[in-house]
Structure 1
Amino acid sequence: MIYVVAKGDTLEDISRRTGVPVEKIVYDNQIENRDRLVEGQALLLLGEGERPDYRGGLSVGGYAYPFVEQSVLEEAFPALNELLIFSYGFTFEGNLVPPRPDELWMIEAAWQQGIEPLLVLTPFSDGAFNNQLIKVLVENEQVQENLIGQLYETVRDRGYAGVDIDFEYVLPEDRVLYAEFVGKVRDRLGEYGYRVSVAVAPKTSDGQRGILVEGIDYAMLGENADKIFLMTYEWGYTYGPPMAVSPLDKVRQVIEYALEKLPAEKLIMGIPNYGYDWPRPYVRGVTRARTIGNVEAVNLASEMGAVIQYAPIAQAPWFTYSAQGTAHEVWFEDPRSIEAKLNLAREYDLSGVGYWNLMRPFQANWIMLNEKSPG
């Protein structure tokens, strides 16, 4: 089902050998330039009416902002069980702050497709995570009660199926109080049939250092939430050195640690729907990567005449190119890397996978996960 383009391949050649019509290859893989396939490019090849078999019993969710293009979101709908709408914030007084623009259209569209929408709660302030908001919240019962009451009313009145709590940079001294707050949210909302999940930074040991992980206790959060979303991405990130965003060997380490603390049926593995384009050479504190979509990355490789490589340990595609005298290195996701991640989630019998995020097109990925209609 996944074919890697060899040097000299054409769409007509591949179609003739596999029996998959050219137009279907183009559509499924969102190929922009029919006359220039990229050596090393991974193509999803499904015949008419053929069903993919990558998903197994995995649940699938994905995050999206209310300003997502409707056509891009609808492209992902056939694969989704949950739509996590990003995001509601809150004030120091515990007053809920809705997203802009209004997200009601996403809630309605999700239910129409049989997808359950979840309200995502974040401690956002001026566009960034604010751990002082978290500190005031978890240390003040009155602020908590105000916020939880407004959460319940919003979930009920807007038609959400539950809440996903995404608090990052939790201070170490707030570790226990944060887990207890999650439990209070679940106790209140669970009484009315709503569920509560928590997104957590990737962690591999109890003693791991770092501002993203020291305030996060997998075991305690697991006891207080229905599901735990492992944010297993951002090893390759905007200001870091070029590398895979979600290297499979690193993801495996996080899952194995999480399974020491939690049952597999509570765990959701994160998958990135994006990559990065780094200028080279990399200079710490200076180099800044550009975020790039997975389809966009292949189009860039085509435009630049690059050859796509595949890292066997990280299980991720990458390539290099030069433009205006500057060398670049690009890491992204393709059907091969997605297959590897889905296999990993199935290997450990996890509850499901979740995408950050649904803002960019990736048709082949959603077709691989589509259980609702023939491929």
Structure 2
Amino acid sequence: MDNIWFYVSSPDAKQDLSEHGNLIDKLVPYWYGVKADGTLDDQAEKDVKETEAQKNIQVYPIIHNYSSPQMRDRIHNLLSNPQLRSTLVTNIVNMAVGEKYPGVNIDFEFVPPEDRQNLTTFMQMLYTELSGKGIKTTISVPAELKDNPDHPFSGAFNYSAIQRFCDEMYILAYDEHFATPGPIASIGFVRNVLNYAVTVIPPNKIRLGMAVYGYDWTENVTIPRTLSYNQAIELARNLGANITYDETAQESTFTYTMNTTSHTVWFEDVRSFTAKLELLMEYNIPGIAVWRLGQEDQRIWNILAIRNF
């Protein structure tokens, strides 16, 4: 089964790669940003490439629009303008061939819903070009509970159409809560996401996107602070907060007060991770895609080693 990890450069991520790379099948590094003219901003790291080669890890670099709502207009222009769209496809193909990558991952966020057909057309063009050269096409897609073409964040992603033009779809079944406190990815939410996904995507193409981080919500603040597992544990320990495991959500949580302001924390750990792994066999899904290396509970690697991913 595929054990896929997203990678963003950090000391913790590099240490993880060195220590646990033998358990990783594919690394999906955040390396190529799209520019307004359809060219790519190369952020690849030579030392990471060397480590991957030594450990025989396949590299599927991310082509991204910087995970930023400020890039909404840029991705709209790149997808809707036929010339720019063609230029972008050509540059991705040339990069993948030149660097001898076995595959690439498309991670476009904040795509306007009106670009739904444009995104599908882009994927068709890219898939046709890459598959002709023996290179795999994968795409990260937001979690959906049903097809909603008007949804401001996920409306552009037509699961049933896109699945025809990719080899793998990484369904990011997390961030269930963001503006308000709640589980990162409750087991019920993940199950509902998969219940819909398998009706429109062949299960063999699905990779379950799993989180290994946490969020710290400050009262009356709509954007939470991201925490790694270690940061969440250290925060609770330093404040004397009592961590509880919510059996319904299958996720850990605690609350605390600082300077008279209330905080709520939810985070993923080895127990919540294991609970979601159990869904793979139930839904006949052949792998996971984890966001992201360096943020996880280290005990997860023991589970992955035992399960021989």
Calculate the TM-score normalised by the size of structure 1.
0.76
Query: Quick one: structure 1 residues 124 and 290, their matched pair in 2 at CA, closer, same or farther if it must change by over 3 Å?
Result: closer
In structure 2, the residue matched to 1:183 is 124
Q: 2:35 aligns with which of 76, 91, 110?
A: 91
Q: 1:206 aligns with which of 147, 169, 174?
A: 147
Equivalent-residue separation in structure 2 for 1:60 and 1:228 (angstroms): 14
Partner SS state of residue 60, structure 2: strand
Q: What amino acid does structure 1 have at the position aligned with 2:254?
A: F
Query: Quick one: structure 1 residues 289 and 139, their matched pair in 2 at CA, closer, same or farther if it must change by over 3 Å?
Result: closer
Query: Quick one: structure 1 residues 172 and 209, their matched pair in 2 at CA, closer, same or farther if it must change by over 3 Å?
Result: closer
Equivalent-residue separation in structure 1 for 2:96 and 2:230 (angstroms): 35
Question: Where do 1:1-375 residues align within 5 Å?
Answer: 58-69=1-12, 70-99=14-43, 102-124=44-66, 128=69, 130-207=71-148, 209-237=150-178, 240-279=179-218, 282-283=219-220, 286-370=221-305
Shift of 1:217: 0.4
Equivalent-residue separation in structure 1 for 2:168 and 2:84 (angstroms): 24
Q: What amino acid does structure 1 have at the position aligned with 2:246?
A: A
Equivalent-residue separation in structure 2 for 1:157 and 1:324 (angstroms): 54
Partner SS state of residue 16, structure 2: helix
Q: What amino acid does structure 1 have at the position aligned with 2:114?
A: E
Shift of 1:324: 3.7
Query: Quick one: structure 1 residues 223 and 341, their matched pair in 2 at CA, closer, same or farther if it must change by over 3 Å?
Result: same
Partner SS state of residue 190, structure 2: helix
Aligned length: 307
Task: Note if contact 1:72-1:359 (Cα within 8 Å) is conserved in structure 2.
Answer: yes
Task: Note if contact 2:116-2:149 (Cα within 8 Å) is conserved in structure 1.
Answer: no
Cα deviation code 1:96-127 (max 9, x no counterpart): 1112xx423222311221211111111238x5
Equivalent-residue separation in structure 2 for 1:333 and 1:307 (angstroms): 16
Task: Note if contact 1:229-1:269 (Cα within 8 Å) is conserved in structure 2.
Answer: yes
Equivalent-residue separation in structure 1 for 2:19 and 2:155 (angstroms): 37
Equivalent-residue separation in structure 2 for 1:128 and 1:170 (angstroms): 9
Shift of 1:201: 0.7
Shift of 1:139: 2.6
Shift of 1:128: 4.7
Shift of 1:369: 0.8
Instruction: Give unmatched runs, 5+ long, in structure 2.
Output: none
Partner SS state of residue 181, structure 1: helix
Equivalent-residue separation in structure 2 for 1:133 and 1:117 (angstroms): 26
Shift of 1:246: 0.9
The structure in which a higher percent of residues are helix is 2
Query: Quick one: structure 1 residues 300 and 123, their matched pair in 2 at CA, closer, same or farther if it must change by over 3 Å?
Result: closer
- Mean alpha-carbon deviation: is it higher for 190-199 or for 318-327? 318-327
Query: Quick one: structure 1 residues 153 and 68, their matched pair in 2 at CA, closer, same or farther if it must change by over 3 Å?
Result: farther
Over the aligned positions, Cα root-mean-square deviation in angstroms equals: 2.1
Cα deviation code 1:320-357 (max 9, x no counterpart): 23334333221111111011110012211112111111
Task: Note if contact 1:104-1:158 (Cα within 8 Å) is conserved in structure 2.
Answer: no
Q: What amino acid does structure 2 have at the position aligned with 1:116?
A: Q
Q: What amino acid does structure 2 have at the position aligned with 1:339?
A: T
Task: Note if contact 2:89-2:122 (Cα within 8 Å) is conserved in structure 1.
Answer: no
Kindly, what percent of the aligned residue pairs are identical?
A: 29
Instruction: Give unmatched runs, 5+ long, in structure 1.
Output: 1-57
Shift of 1:359: 3.4
Higher relative contact order (Cα pairs below 8 Å, separated by 6+ residues): 1
Partner SS state of residue 272, structure 2: helix
Task: Note if contact 1:308-1:319 (Cα within 8 Å) is conserved in structure 2.
Answer: yes
Q: What amino acid does structure 1 have at the position aligned with 2:261?
A: T
Task: Note if contact 1:95-1:147 (Cα within 8 Å) is conserved in structure 2.
Answer: yes
Equivalent-residue separation in structure 2 for 1:365 and 1:271 (angstroms): 12
Equivalent-residue separation in structure 1 for 2:147 and 2:98 (angstroms): 40
Task: Note if contact 1:75-1:363 (Cα within 8 Å) is conserved in structure 2.
Answer: no
